[in-house]
Amino acid sequence: GPSAGPRLAALVRSDPAASVRAAAATALLERGAPGAEDDATPALFDLDPTVRAAAAEGFGRLGERAVPRLRQLALAREAADARGPIAALSLAGARGAEALREIASTHPDEPTRRLAAFALGHVPSHDRGLPIQPPDGATAADAAGPEGR
């Protein structure tokens, strides 16, 4: 019902279970109610990579309409804090790729530029300067961050 949005937003922000936070972010973005993108945005910055990945996939499914917000979020952050928005942009179609190219070439933080380039598939390998091909089945979750290393 109409009261689900605020309940889901509260779950995104504060449920102790990562699976619940991820599911709440996904549900908010699928519902598409007014304010849903605002309410789901904290999930892009969650400490748990599964929550960031769920949010990135949800925002990515919104496609072009999510790109201005994601671009702004990525440009306003550096390195690890930009992972969620960058992963989402990688799933948001041609406009998302356009924003990633901008971030990869103009962001003041070099690690963030590299992350955006990686999301576009433009990272040279260590030995031959060839593009790294993600393993079969690689997803936005992979780009959302290597936690626990």
For residue 87, which phi and psi values (nearest 5 degrees)?
Answer: -60, -40
Q: What is the pLDDT of residue 149?
A: 34
Q: What is the pLDDT of residue 4?
A: 85
Q: What is the pLDDT of residue 71?
A: 97
Q: How do residues 90-144 score in pLDDT, each as one tens digit?
A: 999 999 999 999 999 999 999 999 999 999 998 555 434 444 444 454 444 444 4
Give CA–CA dist 129/88, Å, rounded.
Answer: 26
Q: What is the pLDDT of residue 124?
A: 59
Q: What is the pLDDT of residue 15?
A: 98
Interacting residues of 82 by C-beta distance below 8 A, sequence separation 6+: 73, 74, 103, 107, 109, 112, 115, 116
DSSP H or E stretch at residue 102: helix 93-106
Q: What is the pLDDT of residue 28?
A: 96
Q: Encode the chain in three state secondary structure.
A: CCCHHHHHHHHHHHCCCHHHHHHHHHHHHHHCCCCHHHHHHHHHHCCCHHHHHHHHHHHHHHHHHHHHHHHHHHHCCCHHHHHHHHHHHHCCHHHHHHHHHHHHHHCCCHHHHHHHHHHCCCCECCCCCCECCCCCCCCHHHHCCCCCC
The predicted model scores a pTM of: 0.80
* pLDDT above 70 for 5: yes
What mean pLDDT is reported for the chain? 86
Q: What is the pLDDT of residue 133?
A: 45
| Helix, strand, or coil (residue 131) | strand
* pLDDT above 50 for 17: yes
Q: What is the pLDDT of residue 125?
A: 57
For the ranges 27-31, 45-49, 141-145, the lowest mean pLDDT is seen at 141-145
